[in-house]
């Protein structure tokens, strides 16, 4: 059974940093691209960042480019999102999602990031 | 960026009736190599992550009930639930995976009338 378990969310002040993790199991992690998708409270879905199966290619939404860094450790079956210079607009539930030929076929339950002074 | 526009924003349908949700892409999302539109539909129930329903605009994901179907015409896409069940109450999103950034529609909230 595919499982994606996000962690690392929390409450922090504007300008702060946070690293999210997504522990994957139930599939060969190194065979699949992965993404982070976020959802602000009461709002819709926003794709944030994606990474190829090998980790050699990364992609970002303009809203986070230069502030967020996606990475993965295939030996640990774990996906990461390093988030810097956070603002209130980054407040959201962050989901990690497994990609199957570019659509998101499995999602985690999400980890909540709240940026507030 | 490709803009995905859904209509309506919300919809109330009686149990057993048909529900139709529309999605329009701002440009073609047809992948020429496969002649398939790179369009997915997701269902998000309250308090849950999204779930993949349909991909390539009209292919049902494994395990999805056959009352869910997708159709396409150029840059216009439709998700149809043929006979609404109580468990179908959710927000539905379309999403293009033709290019990055991957973009979603704003969502359509489906309720029971």
pLDDT tens digits along A36-82: 999 999 999 999 999 999 999 999 999 999 999 999 999 999 999 99
Inform me whether the C-beta atom of residue A95 falls under 8 Å from chain B C-beta atoms: yes
Instruction: Give the integer Cα–Cα distance in Å for A32 and A52.
Output: 7
Chain A to chain B Cβ contacts (< 8 Å)? 52
Residue pair B101/B32 in contact by the 8 Å Cβ criterion: no
Looking at the complex, report in whole angstroms how far the Cα of residue B100 sits from the nearest Cα belonging to chain A: 7
B100–A35: do the CB atoms touch at under 8 Å?
no
Residue pair A32/A24 in contact by the 8 Å Cβ criterion: no
Average pLDDT over all residues of chain B: 97
Residue in B closest to A4 by C-alpha: B49
Sign of the CA dihedral with A70 first, then A73, A79, and A84 last: negative
Residue carrying structure tokens 């989901």: A95
List CB contacts of B15: < 8 A, sequence separation 6 or more: B84, B85, B86, B112
Per-residue pLDDT at B111: 97
A49 contacts on B by Cβ (under 8 Å): none
Sign of the CA dihedral with A108 first, then A113, B1, and B5 last: positive
Residue in B closest to A61 by C-alpha: B101
Instruction: Give the integer Cα–Cα distance in Å for A98 and A105.
Output: 6
| Residues B14-33, mean pLDDT to the nearest whole number | 97
Residue pair A78/A23 in contact by the 8 Å Cβ criterion: yes
B40–A35: do the CB atoms touch at under 8 Å?
no
B55 contacts on A by Cβ (under 8 Å): 103
Instruction: Give the integer Cα–Cα distance in Å for B110 and B89.
Output: 5
Residues facing residue B4 across a β-bridge: B25
Average pLDDT over all residues of chain A: 97
Inform me whether the C-beta atom of residue A66 falls under 8 Å from chain B C-beta atoms: no
Facing residue for B102 by CB, picked from A47, A62, A108: A47
pLDDT in tens, B33-79: 999 999 999 999 999 999 999 999 999 999 999 999 999 999 999 99
Q: What is the DSSP letter of B91?
A: E
Facing residue for B103 by CB, picked from A47, A50, A108: A47
Cis peptide upstream of residue B8 (ω within 30 degrees of 0)? yes
B102 contacts on A by Cβ (under 8 Å): 35, 47, 50, 102
Q: What is the DSSP letter of B61?
A: P
Residues facing residue B69 across a β-bridge: B80
Looking at the complex, report in whole angstroms how far the Cα of residue B65 sits from the nearest Cα belonging to chain A: 16
| Residues B22-28, mean pLDDT to the nearest whole number | 98
Per-residue pLDDT at A74: 98
């Amino acid at each position: 059974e595919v499982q994606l378990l996000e962690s690392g969310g929390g409450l922090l002040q504007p300008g702060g940093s946070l690293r999210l993790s997504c522990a994957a199991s139930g599939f060969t992690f190194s065979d699949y691209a992965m993404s982070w998708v976020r959802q602000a409270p009461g709002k819709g879905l926003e794709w944030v960042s994606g990474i190829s199966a090998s980790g050699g290619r990364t992609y970002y939404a303009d809203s986070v480019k230069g502030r967020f860094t996606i990475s993965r450790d295939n030996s640990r079956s774990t996906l990461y999102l390093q988030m810097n210079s956070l603002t209130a607009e980054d407040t959201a539930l962050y989901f990690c999602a497994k990609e199957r030929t570019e659509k998101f076929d499995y999602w985690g339950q999400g980890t909540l990031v709240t940026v507030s002074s | 960026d490709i803009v995905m526009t859904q209509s309506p924003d919300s919809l109330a349908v009686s149990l057993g009736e048909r529900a139709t949700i529309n999605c329009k892409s701002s440009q073609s999302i047809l992948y020429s190599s496969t002649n398939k539109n790179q369009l997915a539909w997701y269902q998000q129930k309250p308090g849950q992550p999204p779930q993949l329903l349909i991909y390539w605009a009209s292919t049902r994901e494994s395990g999805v009930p056959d009352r869910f179907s997708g159709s396409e015409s150029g840059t216009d896409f439709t998700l149809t639930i043929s006979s609404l069940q109580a468990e179908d109450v959710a927000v539905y999103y379309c999403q293009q995976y033709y290019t990055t950034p991957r973009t979603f529609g704003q969502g359509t909230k489906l309720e029971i009338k």
